[in-house]
Every structure is written in structure tokens, then in C-alpha cells.
A and B are shown apart, each in its own frame.
Chain A
Amino acid sequence: MYKSLTCVAVISTPKCHGWHFEHHVTRCHIDAGEELQDKVVVISSKFQKMGFCSRFNIYSKITVGHTLSVSQYIAKGLIKMIWNKEAECLGRSEMKALQLERLKEIVKRAYENVGLYRRKFDDIGLKPEHIQTLKDIEKIPFTTKDDLRDNYPYGLFAVPMKSIVRVHASSGTTGKPIVVGYTQKDVENWSECVARLIVAAGGTDDDIAQVVFGYGLFTGGFGLHYGLEKVGITVVPASSGNSERQIMLMEDFGSTILVGTPSYALYLSEVAEEMGITKGRHKLRLGLFGGEGHTPEMRMEIEKRWGILATENYGLSEIVGPGVSGECSRQCGMHINEDHFYPEIIESTTGNTLGYGEKGELVLTTLTKEGIPMLRYRTKDITILNPEPCSCGRSNVRMNKVLGRTDDMLIIRGVNVFPSQIESVLVGMEHIGPHYQIIVSKKGFMDDIEVQVELIDGKMLEKYSELEKLESGIRHKLRTVLQIDAKVKLVNPKSIERSVGKAKRVIDLRNKNV
């Protein structure tokens, strides 16, 4: 295809601040059809040999003869940056050695400083020194949300309060929240983990990020905030709510990254549309979404509406908040920060450990947490682990998009139904909006499931049969996916409640009138 290639890249970032670096590569012979990938790795290693930019990992096509800044290259997906190459691209055996070393250390610390762990270990005669291999982790009993609740507020802290610099809490669905504490070091590690996923998604210090996660006890706002600052990104801490103002700020401040829950990002796109703020008037190019799961269909809808790359990240307060894992711009699984969090997959019902590639509940052990170490915490999130190195250059284990939660599974007439299955059917369908609500009730002894969707398109009103066809079409698709019959109810546009945080999709009325 190309007989010779001239590459000119002008590099100017704080990592090699003040350098304007031009690099010419000539006569790279590339056979027809061959990707430029390999040749560009040569460029990358030359960069590295010259002693800087070790964080750049250029793997893709660079336009012949074009001169762009690194951030433009990154924005175009031509250069991928890696925040901490040493940690994120560590070889598998080195990673395992590091994990084992840290595991032994944290088990010892947890046993010595936290009553709950000591009791759990003593009950089964387990001692910290029995943990000699990574596989030995399976001897350790699980920790659950109930353990956190029962030890409210500070019962699981492993350091004196004097050393705790921050607490966060997660809203429990019942009663008291669960509380977690961070030491100074924990906050630093947290920011580091979040910085990695921001850079992996494509964020650079040229970006302006609007954080629409709620700030406060919820970990989302502060978690992303610290990571963004660490990368050198301009942070607009807008917090959630006041949607029209969000769009105004987005336009006026020139925000390029949107950080929040996917459901709120979707809602904001509707508000922007109503206000006539379309692509061009806003500068968004990237979304960092988390705090709740969303289906690939929902992601596509968000990407289409905003005209951005939407990446997902994962975390939970009990472990750290956001920063456990995040997608790179290739969107092929979330890279787990394995040097800080050790992942396992178990079979939910038996607790047996499953292998890579097997679907089950994610269990996480914090490897460096000082404030509140978590040993084998059951996340209730269902996913799959993939140990294959990613084409982005990172070698850490990736987790699949969360496929559901063991506790948001609905059992309808004996059949397991996940809201995510319903979402995958609805989002992106013509004539209906992307918002939905699932209402489960009991009719006599029978479970009844109704899915409410908004009819947004008046065009369907001319022919009665068209509307009925739409309804029965949705019903049929749901039946195919769920294996049960769900009632479909078309409702007025914008009548389903919009959420500024995590969306509440399911209303289960079955236990109400009993």
C-alpha cells in the first residue's frame, strides 16, 4: 500500500515538557494490506531509546505527512498513552509474584488489626502464614456487605482514626449505609488507579472534564475528581442535577470529557437536544461512565446521541470506589488494576472458584488498602475474566462488562430475568425512547411483568395497526430474549422518571400487598 512513509509527530506534553520533537521515519516498506502497526512500534521504541515519552505506546496508523499534537493523535486514536506502563504492562509472572507478596502482607495486617477477620480465621483454624500461594486465597472466608453493615460505622478499619483522612459511605437499600475509610496513602493509590483508566480511555491534560457524578459520601464524584487532577485535566466539578445548567456549562466551558452515570449521560443528551446544543456547540469527545452497568446497546445510543467515545469503568465503595477497572479506548473489557485488587470469579451458589472465561460472581481482595482491607469481598456483580493481553499494550486481566448482579436478578414465574436483558432489547429500537421501567407485580398467584417504554414518535399515530405492531414487536423480542411473556406498555414521552445518579429501573410490587 505505502512504499515509503514519512512520519512527523510533534510532541508537547508535561511528561516531556518543553520538548518539540520531530521524528522522521523514511523508507518503511510496508506490503499491501499490511497494517502500519509493526512499523510504528519501531517509532515508539525509538522514542523510548531517546530517553523520554516512555508512556507513549504508538501502535496504530499515523497519517503520512500530517503534523498533529500528541493530544490530537490521541483524540484520533492514533497514539495510546499508558499512565503507568510498569504496572499496567507487567508480565504475568511478575504480576503474580507482586500480588502474592502483597496478599501475604495484607492478610497479616487484616488478621492483626481487624476483629472480624481474626474471628473468621480463628473459627476455621486459619493463620496468615497458611497463605503461601495465590491459590491459598481460596482458604479465606468471604466478606460480604452484611459484614460491613454489622460493623457500622468503623468496625472494619485497620488503622486508628487518626490515620484516616477521608470516609465515604454507600447508600444501603435498607437501613444504615456502609462506611469505608481511606488513609493518605489510600487516597494516593486511589487517584493513581483512576488516573490509569482515564488515560487508557484517552484523556489527556488538554481535556476539560465535567464531572456530573454526585459529590459527597458517594465515591463517584471525588474518586474521578482526584484521578482527573492527577492526569492534569481541568476538572469542572459540576456534581449531579440541574441539567439545563450542566448543558450551559458544557457549552461555555468547552468541556471535552463527560464523567457520570450512563443513565444521566443519556438524559443530559435529551436536555441538550431540547436546548439545541448539538455537536459543534459542545466539544465533548469522550465519556467516562460508571457507577452502574449499561448494555452495549445503551452505550451505542449514548455514543450516537453525543457523538463521543463512551468508555466504562468499574468500582465499588467497599473496595475503593471507581478505579478497580476501566476500559481502554478499544472498548474490549475493563482492565483491572491488579497490583491493587486481586480478582476471582466464583460460582454464586456454591462459592467454588471458577476459571478464566467462566461466568460468575466477581470477588475482590484489596492488596494495598490500609484503611479498610477487604479480603475476598463478594461484589454480587456477574462477569467474566480475560487474561489475554490487550492490543493496547496492557497486560493486566480484563473483566467483561458486568452482565448483571446476583441481587438484581428478578425471578419471574420461576425464570431468571436480568434488567440488562430487557435493556438490550429496548435501547436503539425505532420510535421508542431509550428510557424504560420494569414493573413486577402479582396477579393472584402469578407474577406479572410489565415493561414501560416511551413512545417518542408521533408518526406512528396515523395507523392504529402501526402502534399495535410496534407493541407486539417489542413483546415478541422480549419473549425471545427472556423466555417469558412480558406486557409492554407504551407511555407518553418523558413520563418515565429521569435519574441524575443511578437509574432505578425496577419496581417490584410483589411483596407490597402481602
Chain B
Amino acid sequence: MLVKQISVFLENKSGRLAEVTKILGENGINISALSIADTTDFGILRLIVNNPEKAEQVLMENGFAVSATSVIAIGVEDKPGGLSTALEILARESIGIEYVYAFVGRDGKDAYVILRVENPDKAIDVLTKNNIKVLSSSAVYEF
């Protein structure tokens, strides 16, 4: 159920993001979801792609600092309060969240959220028990 996410260091220089997406495109890698956190000095790009191993490799070869981590992807109902149900469950179990970002699937019914939590296995366990839809990695890569 764990989804592999690629983090890429982006120095504050115009064209860096374009460079990353170009490298991925040229290598036939599709991006399912992305998020950028930035300051004035640098940014960190987080990506969910269909082939994380290859993405990590080609980015490293092209001189980027890259790391891969496991995150979880959940589907929540696309209506007010949809996300809070899931987050409350995690809070109740004292599972801390590092960061969250959302993306939309192809069918457009559910909203999908990527969660980076301290203890992903435990998170998956409690979410599933509480009937929150946790997506399989293959499902996410194919979005």
C-alpha cells in the first residue's frame, strides 16, 4: 500500500523545474502528482510518478540531489469535511503528519491526498480499519 515518492532538490534558478520535467518526459516517465515547497533560496519538488526507480536514477544521472521515500495515498469523498474525517483518525492515534498534498484522479469523483506520516504502516492500518480508502501503489502510479 506504500507509494514511492521522489523528492528533488531545486536550487533557486530559473528553468530548474522545467529541466526536471523535461528529463522525466524524455525518459517516458509520467507524473501522477506533484507538490513544491519553496523558500526564496531553494525548493523541494515532490513527485509521484509511474516509474519511481527510473525517475530517481535518471535525475541523479543528470546531477540532481534526489531521495525516495514512502508515502500513503488515500481517496476521500470530494465534499466539505471529506479530508477531515481521515485526518481526525490519524490525530486520534497520535500519528504525526509531515506534509500533505492533494491531487485529482481521472474519474473526478474522489479527491486524492498524499500523506507523509511518521509511521506509514500504522497509518494504513488505522485508516483501513476506519473505512478510509487507501490506494495501492500501482493504482496511484497509473493515475
Of the stretches B61-69, B79-87, B119-127, the one at the interface is B61-69
Most buried by B among A456, A463, A467, A471: A467
A483-504 vs B, Cβ < 8 Å mask (1 yes, 0 no): 0000011111111000000000
Query: Which listed residue, A463, A468, A488, A493, touches B65 by the CB 8 Å rule?
Result: A493
Residues in B whose Cβ lies below 8 Å from that of A461: 7-9, 44, 65-67
Is B41 within 8 A of A492, CB to CB?
A: no
A464 to B98, CA, bound (A): 9
Q: Does A508 contact B (CB under 8 A)?
A: no
Closest approach, in angstroms, between the C-beta of B17 and any C-beta of chain A?
Answer: 13
Is B39 within 8 A of A455, CB to CB?
A: no
Q: Which residue of A lies closest to B10 (CB)?
A: A492
A491 to B41, CA, bound (A): 10
Residues in A whose Cβ lies below 8 Å from that of B69: 462
State the majority secondary structure of interface residues on B. strand
Q: How many A-B residue pairs have CB under 8 A?
A: 57
Residues in A whose Cβ lies below 8 Å from that of B110: none
Closest approach, in angstroms, between the C-beta of B66 and any C-beta of chain A?
Answer: 5
Closest approach, in angstroms, between the C-beta of B117 and any C-beta of chain A?
Answer: 12
Is B44 within 8 A of A467, CB to CB?
A: yes
State the majority secondary structure of interface residues on A. mixed
Is A457 within 8 A of B65, CB to CB?
A: yes
Residues in B whose Cβ lies below 8 Å from that of A462: 7, 67, 69, 98, 116
Q: Does A459 contact B (CB under 8 A)?
A: yes
A323 to B64, CA, bound (A): 41
Most buried by B among A456, A460, A462, A468: A462
Residues in B whose Cβ lies below 8 Å from that of A460: 9, 65, 67
Residues in A whose Cβ lies below 8 Å from that of B7: 458, 461-462
Residues in B whose Cβ lies below 8 Å from that of A492: 9, 11, 16, 63-65
Chain A, interface size category, equals 20 to 34
Chain B, interface size category, equals 20 to 34
Is A458 within 8 A of B42, CB to CB?
A: no
Residues in A whose Cβ lies below 8 Å from that of B98: 462-463
Q: Which of A456-482 contact B (CB under 8 A)?
A: 456-464, 467-468, 471
B40-67 vs A, Cβ < 8 Å mask (1 yes, 0 no): 0110100000000000000000011111
Residues in A whose Cβ lies below 8 Å from that of B42: 467, 489-490
Closest approach, in angstroms, between the C-beta of B102 and any C-beta of chain A?
Answer: 18
Residues in A whose Cβ lies below 8 Å from that of B63: 492-495
Most buried by A among B8, B11, B99: B11
Residues in A whose Cβ lies below 8 Å from that of B9: 455, 458, 460-461, 467, 490, 492
Q: Does B12 contact A (CB under 8 A)?
A: yes
Is B65 within 8 A of A455, CB to CB?
A: yes
A468 to B40, CA, bound (A): 11
Closest approach, in angstroms, between the C-beta of A439 and any C-beta of chain B?
Answer: 13
Q: Does B91 contact A (CB under 8 A)?
A: no
Q: Which residue of B lies closest to A488 (CB)?
A: B41
The 4 closest A-B pairs by CB, nearest first: A458-B67, A461-B7, A491-B11, A461-B67
